Amino acid sequence: MASEGVARGPGRLGVVHVHSGWSHDGKDTLEALHDLSRGRGIRFVGLTDHAEDFTEARFREYQAACQKASSEHVQLIAGLEYRFAGLKGLHLLALGMAAWMNPATPAEFIAEARRVARFTIAAHPILYRHELPEVVEQGIDAIEIWNASYNTRWLPDPRAIELLKRVQAKRPEVTGIAGLDQHDAKNDRETRVLLLKADESLDPLAELKAGRYVNLGRTMELGASEAMSPTALGMLHLVRWGFDGVERTQDKLTRLLRGDPR
Ligand SMILES: [Zn+2]
Ligand SMILES: [Zn+2]
Distance 182 CA to ligand 2 centre (A): 7
pLDDT given at position 9: 54
Summarize pLDDT for 30-43 with one digit per residue, the tens: 999 999 999 999 99
Closest ligand to the CA of 87? 1
Residue 242 CA to ligand 2 centre (angstroms)? 26
Q: Is this structure's pTM higher than 0.85?
A: yes
pLDDT, tens digit, for every residue of 2-20? 444 444 557 899 999 999 9
Separation of alpha carbons 165 and 159, rounded Å: 10
> Distance (Å, rounded) from C-alpha 222 to C-alpha 214?
6
Interval 220-259: pLDDT, tens: 899 998 777 888 888 888 888 877 777 777 777 777 777 7
* Residue 81 near residue 122 (C-beta atoms within 8 A): no
Residues within 5 A (CB) of ion ligand 1: 91, 123
Quick one: which ligand is closest to 183's CA? 2
In the 3-class helix/strand/coil scheme, how is 146-189 assigned residue by residue? EECCCCCCCCCCHHHHHHHHHHHHHCCCCEEEEECCECCCCCCC
- For residue 149, report the distance from its CA to the centre of ligand 2, in Å: 9
Q: 21 C-alpha to center of ligand 2: Å?
A: 13
Q: What's the 84 CA to ligand 2 centre distance in angstroms?
A: 14
Q: 195 CA distance to ligand 2 centroid (A)?
A: 22
Classify strands 75-77 and 44-47 as parallel, antiparallel or unpaired: parallel
Homologous superfamily of the 12-228 domain (CATH): Metal-dependent hydrolases (3.20.20.140)
pLDDT single digits (tens) 90-146: 999 999 999 999 999 999 999 999 999 999 999 999 999 999 999 999 999 999 999
